[in-house]
Amino acid sequence: MKAYIISVMCISVIGSLLSMLTPEGEGGGIMRNNRLVFGLCVVLVCINPIKSIINEVKSLDIGSIVEIPDSDFERYEEYLGGAYTDAEVENLKAGIYQMLEDRFSVPRENCSVAVNLRRGEGGTSSLERIFITLYGGAIFKNTNEIEDYFGSIFNCEIVTVIG
C-alpha cells in the first residue's frame, strides 16, 4: 500500500513540475496536452491495483474453500426447518383471514386464527388443526358453516370459538 501511495504522489509531482516548466504558448495547446497526459498517467496508476485484485480473484478455487460436514447439515436443516414452518403458518393464516373476509364477511379485526402444524419425518409438515375465534359482530356467523367450509378445504380439524 505504501508503494502504491508513493507512486501516485511521484507521478503527480512529476506532472506538476513539467506543467510548470512548459510554456503556455498560443491557446495553451502544449499546456493542455501535458495536463491531459499526466492526468491519464495518474488514472492508470490508480487503476493498476484493481487489475491485480481481479487476477487474484480469478485464480481462486472457490469449490475448495467451503466444506460443510454432514453433522452441520443436520443442524442447519433443523434450524431452517423451523423457520420454514413459521413462514408456512404465517402464509396459511393470512390466507384463512382472507377467506373469512371474502366468503363470510368477517373482517380481520373481528377474528383471530391459530394454526397447528405437525412436523413429520423428512422435514414434511401437515396441517393438524385450525382454531378460529370470532369477536364483535362476527359472533352471529354460523360456526358450523365456517367449520364445514374450512374442513373441506384443509381436511383437518377446525375449531371455531365465539370469544
More confident residue, 72 or 21: 21
Question: Model confidence at 98, in pLDDT bands (50, 70, 90)?
Answer: very high
Backbone angles phi, psi at 129, to 5 degrees: -160, 145
Q: Could you read off the pLDDT of 56-71 as tens digits, one per residue?
A: 777 766 555 555 555 5
Domain assignment of residue 7, given as a range: 2-62
145-150 — which CB contacts under 8 Å span 24+ positions?
145/104, 146/100, 146/104, 149/99, 149/103, 149/104, 150/96, 150/99
Indicate the range of 15-24, 67-76, 93-102 predicted with least confidence.
67-76
Beta bridge partners of 160: 132
Global confidence as pTM: 0.50
**Within its chain, how far is the Cα of 111 from the centroid?**
32
Q: Could you read off the pLDDT of 113-163 as tens digits, one per residue?
A: 998 887 777 667 778 899 999 998 898 999 999 999 998 888 889 999 987
**Beta-strand pair 157-162/111-119:** unpaired
Q: Could you read off the pLDDT of 78-97 as tens digits, one per residue?
A: 655 556 577 778 888 999 99
Check residue 112 and give its pLDDT.
92
Check residue 44 and give its pLDDT.
82
Res 28 pLDDT > 70 = no
For residues 86 and 149, membership in a common domain is answered with: yes
For residues 154 and 113, membership in a common domain is answered with: yes
CA–CA separation, 147 and 55 (whole Å): 65
Q: Are 60 and 15 in contact (CB under 8 A)?
A: no
Amino acid at site 85: T
For residues 54 and 76, membership in a common domain is answered with: no
Check residue 97 and give its pLDDT.
93
Check residue 131 and give its pLDDT.
93
Check residue 113 and give its pLDDT.
93
For residues 92 and 48, membership in a common domain is answered with: no
For residues 79 and 146, membership in a common domain is answered with: yes
For residues 51 and 78, membership in a common domain is answered with: no
CA–CA separation, 41 and 23 (whole Å): 21
Cα four-point dihedral sign 152, 157, 160, 163: negative
Q: Which three cell numbers stand for residue 23?
A: 510554456
For residues 99 and 124, membership in a common domain is answered with: yes
Check residue 82 and give its pLDDT.
59
Last-in-domain residue among 62, 85, 102:
62
One DSSP character per residue, 116-132 reads EEEE-GGG-EEEEEEEE
Res 24 pLDDT > 80 = no
Under DSSP, is residue 133 helix (H, G, I), strand (E, B) or coil? Answer: strand
Total tally of structural domains belonging to the chain? 2
